[in-house]
Chains A and B, each alone.
Chain A
Amino acid sequence: MSRSVVVVPSAPMLLPEYSGRTDAAAELRSCAVEALTAAVPDGDPVVLVVANDREQRGTRPPLGERVGRHLAGLAGLPVAEVAVVPWDAPVDRCAAAGEALAASHPEASVVVVADGSARRGEKAPGHLDERAFAVDEALVAALRAADAEALLALDPALCADLLVHGRAPLQVAAGVLGRADGTVRARCEALHTEDPFGVLHVVARLTLP
């Protein structure tokens, strides 16, 4: 049985409670659910990897967890465990968490709830920062190549500046990928990116041997 690492966005607009009469996230949600369904066709339990909220105000679970649970639910996938990593966790701590997850759940597919930069335009939540594009490009390229080392190369300070909310969870994913057989690399089966609101949303499906 092969298992997958699926990256889905953590945008709150994916949650039904935040949707207006016109659902602005309908296509993105479908895309994410489609990736989850394709990754785990038999409906096995998955492990969620999410970051805590950078702008935590109240007592609710992190948005990433709520969005991840919602998307997994739409795909009919039970959630076996939620791994919450601090959004600003150091790289080696993320990688170690990923390795530990791979060891404790060797059969489970992993759903990484992560986004690129929120500074991709004048109207973006964090306004425009031109550096966002190169960092996002590196992030997307790493997923396309299923390259754990490239994911681990994302710089925490720069990503923090650029409001890249997915850096830490993606580096946990790198830890999971790193546990794959050293000779047979993971493969990216599907990748979708979009940024209509100045935030890079990514849906990616990687399979491990």
Chain B
Amino acid sequence: MSGSAAGRGAVLRLGRHEYPASARLVMAIVNRTPDSFYDKGISWAEDAALDRVRMVAEQGADIVDIGGIKAAPGVEIDAAEEKRRVVGFVERVRGEYPDLVISVDTWRSEVARAVCGVGADLINDAWGGADPELPTVAAEFGASLVCTHTGGVTPRTRPHRIEYDDVVADARSSLLRQAERAVSMGVERERVIIDPAHDFGKNTWHSLEVTRRLDELTSLGWPTLVSLSNKDFVGESLDLPVGERLTGTLAATALCAWLGAQVYRVHEVVETRQVLDMVSVVAGDLRPARTVRGLA
């Protein structure tokens, strides 16, 4: 069968798993933070975070993305504190789920080294390679790496009056440069993922354009991750606050899925899984669950 995404995406390896270019994977957000924008600290306590892992694993998440620092500006969290929040936790998750793909959301190579040492499979660098040593760590541990486009902003800053001649062209050149650099530093090619990073170094207009033209990134020969979940570009598009953005998120998810994105970083696993499966079925990448109507 040939899907809408034919000619897009690439084979992706995460931990012991290998996924074809037609796969659409759910990466569930697990915050070990007291202050993230969406869940406001609901899984701050380690046991609560573990309950969240258990729930999303049960719901069919392919990947958990564990983060110890919220993206927005706020209380300074140094590397030691970040490690206190995530390293032991990653170890617990790995102990309970030997086969679940574990991602850690960090831009710091020091933290990345510590979590890879206890079983993390993927380093999700949301800040565009702010720490140039991250690929070294991924290479050392045989881990996968997410490269993001942020327009070169400092981690944990908000975009303010940023303009691009062409945001997609900027993302494309930045992501290709980072991805090739990671490979040159020893990260396996099939373990490098690119992420246009909606709302990072981007206003709503930028994030919408990246969404609209996502195929220009998914056709580059690297697997693409999109992180759309409940973000401000959805909120501003629909004039809805956090907590009322799921429908908009899912609409954008379906479009990105049609345009060839392979990994979806999300808060809501069940709804996302349904949207991705529906797109995969329409695209012909996945058979329907069960077909009887008109066929008995």
Chain A interface: which of B37-45, B129-137, B153-161, B288-296?
Answer: B288-296
Chain A positions 2 through 39: 1 when the CB is less than 8 Å from some CB of chain B, otherwise 0 = 00000000011100001111101000000000000000
Residues of A within 8 A of B295 (CB): 11-13, 18
- Most chain-A Cβ atoms within 10 A of its Cβ — which of B286, B287, B288, B291? B291
Are A20 and B296 closer than 8 Å at their CB atoms? no
Q: Range of interface residues on chain A?
A: 10 to 19
Residues of B within 8 A of A21 (CB): 286-290
CB distance from A18 to the nearest CB of B (A): 5
User: How many residues of B are in contact with the other chain, CB < 8 A?
Assistant: 10
CB distance from B109 to the nearest CB of A (A): 42
- Most chain-B Cβ atoms within 10 A of its Cβ — which of A12, A20, A197, A201? A20
Are A125 and B294 closer than 8 Å at their CB atoms? yes
**In this assembly, does A199 line the interface, its C-beta being within 8 Å of a C-beta of chain B?**
yes
Are B291 and A19 closer than 8 Å at their CB atoms? yes
Q: Which residue of B lies closest to A13 (CB)?
A: B295
Complex CA gap A97/B233 in Å reads: 71
Chain A positions 176 through 198: 1 when the CB is less than 8 Å from some CB of chain B, otherwise 0 = 00000000000000000000111
Complex CA gap A21/B291 in Å reads: 9
Residues of B within 8 A of A19 (CB): 287, 291
CB distance from A202 to the nearest CB of B (A): 13
Q: Which residue of B lies closest to A195 (CB)?
A: B296
Complex CA gap A11/B83 in Å reads: 60
Complex CA gap A199/B295 in Å reads: 10
Other-chain contact of B291, A20, A125, A198, A201 (Cβ < 8 Å) = A20
CB distance from A62 to the nearest CB of B (A): 15
CB distance from B204 to the nearest CB of A (A): 38
Residues of B within 8 A of A20 (CB): 287-291
Complex CA gap A61/B242 in Å reads: 56
Are B290 and A125 closer than 8 Å at their CB atoms? no
Are B296 and A125 closer than 8 Å at their CB atoms? yes
Residues of A within 8 A of B288 (CB): 20-21
Give me 28 A-to-B residue pairs in the complex whose CB atoms sit less than 8 angstroms apart, sorted by A's number: A11-B295, A11-B296, A12-B294, A12-B295, A13-B291, A13-B292, A13-B295, A13-B296, A18-B295, A19-B287, A19-B291, A20-B288, A20-B289, A20-B290, A20-B291, A21-B286, A21-B287, A21-B288, A21-B289, A22-B289, A22-B290, A24-B291, A118-B296, A125-B296, A196-B296, A197-B292, A198-B296, A199-B296
In order of increasing CB-CB distance, the 3 nearest A-B pairs are: A197-B296, A13-B295, A20-B291
